[in-house]
Amino acid sequence: MTREIVVVTAAYGSDRVRALGGQAALLPVIAKAGADSVEIRRELFDDPSLAHLPKLGDHIAQHQLGCVYSVPEALFGEDGNYHPQLEGFFLEAQQLGARVMKLSLGHYRPCTNLMRLKKVLDAQPVRLVVENDQTPDCGLLLPMSAFLRAASDAGLPLGMTFDMGNWHWVGQAPHCAADTLADHVTYVHVKAAAQRAGKWHAVALDNSDGQWRELLNRLPMDAPRGIEFPLEGDDLIAVTRHYVDLLRAE
Which CATH number fits the domain that encloses residue 98?
3.20.20.150
Percent of the chain having pLDDT more than 70? 100
pLDDT at 146 over 70: yes
pLDDT at 196 over 80: yes
Instruction: Please compute the mean of the pLDDT values over residues 135-149 and round it to a whole number.
Output: 95
Per-residue pLDDT tens digits for 81-139: 999 999 999 999 999 999 999 999 999 999 999 999 999 999 999 999 999 999 998 89
Would you mind telling me the total number of residues written for the chain in this entry?
Answer: 250
Instruction: Please compute the mean of the pLDDT values over residues 172-186 and round it to a whole number.
Output: 98
Residue 228: phi, psi to the nearest 5? -125, 15
User: Taking the CA of residue 1 as centre, how many other CA atoms within 13 Å lie in the half-sphere pointing to its CB?
Assistant: 10
Q: Which domain holds residue 80?
A: 5-249
Query: Do residues 185 and 223 touch, judged by C-beta distance below 8 A?
Result: yes
Task: Determine the pLDDT at residue 137.
Answer: 86
- Total domains, the chain: 1
At 198, the pLDDT band (50, 70, 90 cuts) reads confident
Q: How far, in Å, are 18, 111, 117, 163 from residue 83 at the CA level?
A: 28, 17, 10, 21
The dihedral region occupied by 36, where left means phi > 0, alpha psi between -120 and 50, and beta the remainder, is alpha
pLDDT at 1 over 70: no
Instruction: Please compute the mean of the pLDDT values over residues 181-199 and round it to a whole number.
Output: 95
Instruction: Please compute the mean of the pLDDT values over residues 22-44 and round it to a whole number.
Output: 98
Task: Determine the pLDDT at residue 47.
Answer: 86
Instruction: Please compute the mean of the pLDDT values over residues 12-21 and round it to a whole number.
Output: 96
Instruction: Please compute the mean of the pLDDT values over residues 22-47 and round it to a whole number.
Output: 97
Instruction: Please compute the mean of the pLDDT values over residues 161-190 and round it to a whole number.
Output: 97
Instruction: Please compute the mean of the pLDDT values over residues 215-244 and round it to a whole number.
Output: 97
